[in-house]
Amino acid sequence: MQEISFKYNIFLTAWGWAGLVAGQEGLRILVLPEERKEDVLVKIKKELKYNNLIEEKGGWEDLIKDIKEYFTGKKVDFSNWQLDLNEYTDFQKSILQIVKKIPYGKIQTYKKVAEAANYPKAYRAVGNTMAHNPIPLIIPCHRVIGSNGKLVGFSASGGIVLKQKMLDLESEIQAK
DNA sequence: GTAAGACATATTG
DNA sequence: CAATATGTCTTAC
């Protein structure tokens, strides 16, 4: 019986407890700030579908530092981090990689993301992919909004409110 | 200009 | 087949 295990980290940011899980080939899961540390772990387990988790610190201190700085209002670029997307379909990989390229403070629509991925009419499916986005923030799904300029669903615990807060954080910095 | 409803549309499980 | 973190159009305020 081969046991698969992943190492995870849970840390405190200015907005609450956040967590991440790393696999062999890169970052696997990232959890947005929750009020309670316990909720972060629950979320990780729910996403992973494995219970063999090891709390291990190593190799990801830089990312944790960047995330903490992000929530304190500093402009941070996450686009260089390696992601592990092996368990996702080609379509999802395409979408995630395109969304990942959206720069800090910039906003895209679901439709434009679909077009950029060469699936001009798959905007609905883009939303579907975002709903299962395992790595928010690094894949800035909060920067993807509806074509009419309004914010739509956000499945993280904070919902639309959290999405709005993150956009406010970024727009303020860009305005300065 | 806003809000609600219907329908088209692609991908996933 | 059903579900969906959309888009567009049509109505009616």
Is strand C in 7 Å reach of the CB of A148? yes
Query: CA A53 → C1' C6, Å?
Result: 36
Is residue A78 within 8 A of residue A66, CB to CB? The reply is yes
Domain ranges of chain A: 6-71, 90-175
pTM: 0.91
SS3 A1: coil
- For every one of its 176 residues, what pLDDT tens digit does chain A have, with 9 covering 90 and above? 556 678 899 999 999 999 999 887 889 999 999 999 999 999 998 888 766 778 887 778 999 999 999 999 999 999 999 999 999 999 999 999 999 999 999 999 999 999 999 999 999 999 999 999 999 999 999 999 999 999 999 988 888 999 999 999 998 776 65
Annotated active-site residue in A21, A126, A130, A141 = A141
Query: How is domain A90-175 classified at the CATH fold level?
Result: Arc Repressor Mutant, subunit A (1.10.10)
User: How far apart (Å, rounded) are the C-alpha atoms in residues A82 and A77?
Assistant: 13
Report how far residue A30's alpha carbon sits from residue A39's, in angstroms, rounded to the nearest whole number: 13
